[in-house]
Amino acid sequence: MNFFVVLFEKSITIYRESGTGCLMTIKNSMTLNDHSTMPRLGFGVYKVAQNEANQVVSEAIKCGYRLIDTASMYQNEEGVGEAIASSNLKREDFFVTTKLWNDDQGIAKAFRALDMSLLKLGLSHIDLYLIHWPSPQRASYVETWKALIEMQKQGKIKSIGVSNFAIEHLEKIIKETRVVPAVNQIELHPRFQQKALRAFHEKHGIKTESWGPLGRGKFLENKTLISLAAKHHKTPAQIVLRWHLQSDLIAIPKSSNAKRIKENFDIFDFALDSQDMNAIEALDSPFGRTGPHPLQTDF
């Protein structure tokens, strides 16, 4: 029986692991290509209504989440801002992501959209601003990317990134501006692992952030996940989220249920071994996508 000391945030936890393998410890932070630090595990608020966002996000903050992922399209930025303002924490304790919606693409509209998000969130800067979708039929994601580069220079945004960009979209913005996004937020979960896109990210120093990290709750009754949950005395959702972290991904699970919000953050006291990781890798499927295909969207 080995004892390990795990440093997580400012608290020290001592726990033990049976067997001979070394327990993999993970800190809840990673460094982006612009040297900013971003939490690896955050809280997503898609489909959280404006009038419940304050309460749900406050619950998440209480559980330890500091990365909050919203978007102007979710129409809950005010509620997110209220939760941040009413916490007894400092602004710098949080990492707030919001996203520029497709209708706001283009230089002038992008600047207006950022100002509106800052106003609604009640913040003077955003930690990570993402172009929500490439929406290639508009042919304006390159100029929108140029706007984000300028916003970062002005100090209104710490880090800039994209979401739902395919390799061809990434290649285009990098070629035209020589500025590599810090993050690409894409659909990613055990049923849809996006290996080719992740390899491209890795080669270019882009961090991969998984949206729908729980497969939107649809694959949690999978036999492999249930047996790994039994082995580690955890739930299938916790197994999946731990897999994201050990795969060097950023994960932003969503729940409006207090018990699940807590459960989804309680993943720093165990580790999957290489056999467990391989078993989850084997769940990948070319048919696992649950959301729109970035090359086929008409919005």
Residues that bind ligand NAD (CB under 6 A): 44-46, 69, 132, 163-164, 185, 211-217, 220, 235, 237, 252-255, 260, 263-264, 291
Beta carbons of 160 and 182 less than 8 angstroms apart: yes
- Of the listed 15, 65, 74, 141, which one is catalytic? 74
Dihedral sign, CA of 9, 53, 193, 95?
negative
| Closest CB 241 distance from ligand NAD, rounded Å | 8
Whether 46 is a known active-site residue: answer: no
d(CA 34, CA 44): 23
Q: What residue number has its CB nearest to ligand NAD? A: 44
Report the C-alpha gap between 295 and 299 in whole angstroms: 11
Q: Encode 83-96: b = buried (16+ Cβ within 10 Å), e = exposed.
A: bbeeeeeeeeebbb
CA separation for the pair 96, 84 (Å, rounded): 9
Least distance from ligand NAD to the Cβ atom of residue 114, Å:
17
Nearest approach, Cβ of 18 to ligand NAD (angstroms)?
25
137 vs 154, which CB is nearer to ligand NAD? 137
Residue number, 108 or 293, with CB nearest to ligand NAD: 293
**Closest approach of Cβ 30 to ligand NAD, in Å?**
17
Output the furthest CA–CA distance in the chain (Å, rounded). Answer: 61
**Structural tokens at position 294:** 């970035």
| Residue 233, Cβ density class (10 Å: 0-12 exposed, 13-18 middle, ≥19 buried) | exposed
Catalytic center residues: 74
